Structure 1
Amino acid sequence: MDGQKNRLSKGSVVYQIFLRSFTLDGTLAAAEQLLPHIASLGVDVVYLCPVVLADGDERREFWSERQRQSGMENPKNPYRLSDYFAIDPEYGTDEDLRNFVRTAHQCKLRVLLDLVYFHCGPAARCLEEHPDFVKRDENGNPVNGRWHFPQLNFDNPELREYLWSNMEYFLREFDVDGYRCDVSGAVPLDFWEEGRRRMERWKPASLLLAESESTPVEDQKSAFDANYSFAFSFLLNDILKGEKTAEEFWTMWEEHPLYHEPGLCFLRCFDNHDIASDNYDARPERNGRNAMVDAALAVLFTMNGVPFLYNGQEVADGRRHSLFSNRFTGKNLVVDWARGLTPAGEGRMQLIRELVQLRRDSRALQSGEVVEVDNSTPKQVLSYLRRTPEESLLVAVNLSAAPAETEFSVPGVKERATLPPGGWIVQSL
């Protein structure tokens, strides 16, 4: 990246906290108490879903389809904002955020906030003084985007200055370490590039993550440290649901050649606030496929890119989560932390710690090339090499619910393995 002073480490692990479902209280203060636990997993970056004031407008024409269908009857969508500078009382106070960041830093965790700059709420406070901050049609009505929220107008230089000052504000006043940028591809790239320059005046080592995978080569030149990998996430979920097989991974891989472009960085996940909220019945933990989830985690930590864990994934949580439920409205849907005391939860936490250490001990797993390896059971087993000039590792993961007796075709080497459902190996060659 041109001018980038500190990229997201290839040894990093990102953990997403969605406050509404993270604890029974749903607050920053309650989440702060769990930061030592998160750090104990080997995580080094925590990303918070939006904590600024959400728009409580009750007009349903300004609710997203997901919001209406959730049945929670909560007008406050955390991704439909009213005030970009005010902490929502639902989550706490300014001092609560400062305390959260301070404790995170003591635990050697960097903290990212969520920027939602594609759209705002219909009753956003800034629109009272700046009605031209949103796009308008020929009749002067706001132009609503994909989720029925007014789209921000990036042709307006005053809006840009307002949002750049917002990016600077949380770095300066709260000592956060950067941002995850919601729907980043719908915002002009030159806005993010200038925002990055301004961020670095306050914190040269700040991070910026893009929720987009459409233009990672351009994104990562001077704006972003990493992009999301949606096709990767969706395919892993389809495999976990039994709708696709491991064999289809390489088809996806070839259709997205930038996934293995040297120098580019992608976040790797198969669960997050969107997936957990929209696909409750299909969540693998809910359907008793814990071994399959273990296998998918092995892929996240041995494939190139940066692993991205979600809210309670480390205790094999399978409860329903919802973007639109909190302790005031709808059902209070929270992580089942008691799962951490069960064999499944204890095993999951141990697995994540082992995977973190395995990856941090291996340069090949952090930054080596990915080479497809043929095997005799391709519908079940995903196999590949991670390779640098100094180290070569064979990785094999059984992504099926049946045992696999398989042979690998590695140049100059013949290997055989018996993998139980969800079983995996990492072997030096």
Structure 2
Amino acid sequence: MSDLLLHPNAQLFRVRHPDWAANATIYEVNLRQFTLEGTFRAFEAHLPRLASMGVSIVWLMPVHPIGEVGRKGTLGSQYAVRDYFGVNPEFGSLDDLRHLVQTAHQLGLRVLLDWVANHTSWDNPLVQQHPDWYQHDEQGHLVPPVPDWTDVAALDYRHPKLRRYMTDALLYWVREADIDGYRCDVAGLVPTDFWDAARRELDAVKPLFMLAEWDELYPSGGLTWEQFNPDTKLLEKAFNMTFGLRLHYLLDHIAEGKHPLRDIDSYLAAERAKYPPSVYLMHFTSNHDVNSWDGTEYERLGPLALPFAVLTVLLPGMPLVYTGQEAALNRRLAFFDKDPINWQDYPLQEFYTRLLQLKRRHFALQNGDPLSRFQRLPSPDDTYCFLRTKGLAAVLTGVNISPEPQLLVLPAAAAGTWQDVFSGQTLLFRAGEELVLPPQGWRVLEKQ
């Protein structure tokens, strides 16, 4: 019997994943900064490159018109939505978005739109038309969901007509632009029963992939523990995947010397205690919030930026790559102003291609597969080594965070012929032989 059937909560998790998501990697597109033009059409030219890199899902940050009242910076936050049925003219037209989605589909890519259901800009027409749809303070004033989110007002989902409006808006983009799902901003601040009901209607149009910005093991979106509800149950009926925020912050703390590398074991144990293997969590070293507010992966992780990127791709979970990571982007992108990427001939394109294409093709690395096995290998301190296997297929990963080389003594399970995914070298191992892990580096081997 599989771990999926043995898990005590397995029967609660009813979301069906589309077949194409099993080996998927997701790429977040900061459209404003992606090109000098900052448009759908200019970004569309990058789709073949992303597809060849091994990306499966393209997540577009919000594409809607941005509020002007209380706007931050010169262009404002893309998360201050003024019109849920409109397209931000900064990016192009609805036809341009449709063309982007069609081109992505021709390349085998899926497209998610970023959806902000929890709050609107202050000049969204809903503020005047339906002020009762918003949260109010004791004096009757509209309020932001978080004090420093001063450019948005919080919605109140106790109102059935708001729920109907928001569901209709979600349905509109599936029908009009043929998108493949949504990334939902601070999804845990919106009642779970709204998402459950909306998901049923959306899937009646076409099966979607739904990503929640939330982690039921850790607060999301800059929230405090007091604001955080760990019992949202978003993954049971509504969402295919949530953010793996706890792993993200753990990697940051390991790089700072606050936690040992072996604490990844505790993270994985907590994840498995809460979720059956069928559940997807998304792992990453950067995204739009992390880059702009916490710092680049090079600021936060230093020389461990790439070793930890290896972990986020090859540990169980779906990996995310953020705009500019394949360009070794080493600056914080402005959030409210134009600040385009300098791609520099994509110096890390090959690095990510090796990892993402391995993820894409390998049976043992599939997302949410209860028949895939994870085996932690005994290894020196400051290293983290593991096997992922399914049948005869196997991938061996070793990461070394120390400034000195380390030796991994290979167990009997590692005997056989392997190919180094990065060097292409063929290696023959017997049990008890040693594998050298380079200083602050990694080895990734695929069994032949």
Tell me the TM-score normalised to structure 2 length.
0.82
Give 1:245 shift. 4.2
> Which amino acid letter does the alignment assign opposite residue 188 of structure 1?
P
> Which amino acid letter does the alignment assign opposite residue 360 of structure 1?
R
Distance in 2, Cα, partners of 1:231 & 1:293? 17
Give 1:127 shift. 1.7
Give the equivalent residue in structure 2 for 1:98: 98
- 5+ residue gaps, structure 2, are 1-12, 217-229, 415-430
Of all paired residues, the percent bearing the same amino acid is 31
Give the equivalent residue in structure 1 for 2:6: none
Give the equivalent residue in structure 1 for 2:385: 383
* CA separation of 1:74 and 1:408: change in aligned 2, threshold 3 A: farther
Distance in 2, Cα, partners of 1:185 & 1:287? 28
Distance in 1, Cα, partners of 2:300 & 2:283? 21
Choose which of 149, 157, 179 in structure 2 pairs with 1:176. 179
Q: How does 1:408-423 map to 2 (within 5 A)?
A: 413-421=431-439, 422-423=441-442
Give the equivalent residue in structure 2 for 1:163: 166
Q: How does 1:68-217 map to 2 (within 5 A)?
A: 73-74=73-74, 76-146=76-146, 147-148=149-150, 149-203=152-206, 205-214=207-216
Distance in 1, Cα, partners of 2:283 & 2:274? 11
For the residue of structure 2 that corresponds to 1:83, the secondary structure is coil
Distance in 2, Cα, partners of 1:260 & 1:199? 24
Give 1:393 shift. 4.0
For the residue of structure 2 that corresponds to 1:163, the secondary structure is helix
Write out per-residue CA displacement over residues 112-138 of structure 1, whole angstroms, 9 at most, x where no aligned residue. Answer: 000111111122122221111111234
For the residue of structure 2 that corresponds to 1:89, the secondary structure is coil
Give the equivalent residue in structure 1 for 2:443: 424
Give 1:44 shift. 1.2
* CA separation of 1:234 and 1:81: change in aligned 2, threshold 3 A: same
* CA separation of 1:293 and 1:407: change in aligned 2, threshold 3 A: same
Contact persistence 1:8–1:226 (CA under 8 A)? no
Distance in 2, Cα, partners of 1:152 & 1:288? 40
Give the equivalent residue in structure 1 for 2:38: 26
For the residue of structure 2 that corresponds to 1:317, the secondary structure is coil
Contact persistence 1:259–1:266 (CA under 8 A)? no
> Which amino acid letter does the alignment assign opposite residue 386 of structure 1?
R
Give 1:143 shift. 3.0
* CA separation of 1:410 and 1:260: change in aligned 2, threshold 3 A: farther
> Which amino acid letter does the alignment assign opposite residue 370 of structure 1?
F
Distance in 2, Cα, partners of 1:126 & 1:2? 34
Q: How does 1:149-298 map to 2 (within 5 A)?
A: 149-203=152-206, 205-214=207-216, 218-240=233-255, 244-258=259-273, 261-280=276-295, 282-284=296-298, 289=303, 292-298=304-310
Contact persistence 2:75–2:337 (CA under 8 A)? no
Distance in 1, Cα, partners of 2:117 & 2:21? 26
Distance in 2, Cα, partners of 1:303 & 1:373? 13
Distance in 2, Cα, partners of 1:259 & 1:7? 24
Distance in 2, Cα, partners of 1:406 & 1:279? 34
- 5+ residue gaps, structure 1, are 68-72, 327-332
Contact persistence 1:397–1:424 (CA under 8 A)? yes
* CA separation of 1:307 and 1:259: change in aligned 2, threshold 3 A: farther
Across the aligned residues of Structure 1 and Structure 2, the Cα RMSD in angstroms comes to: 2.6
For the residue of structure 2 that corresponds to 1:267, the secondary structure is strand
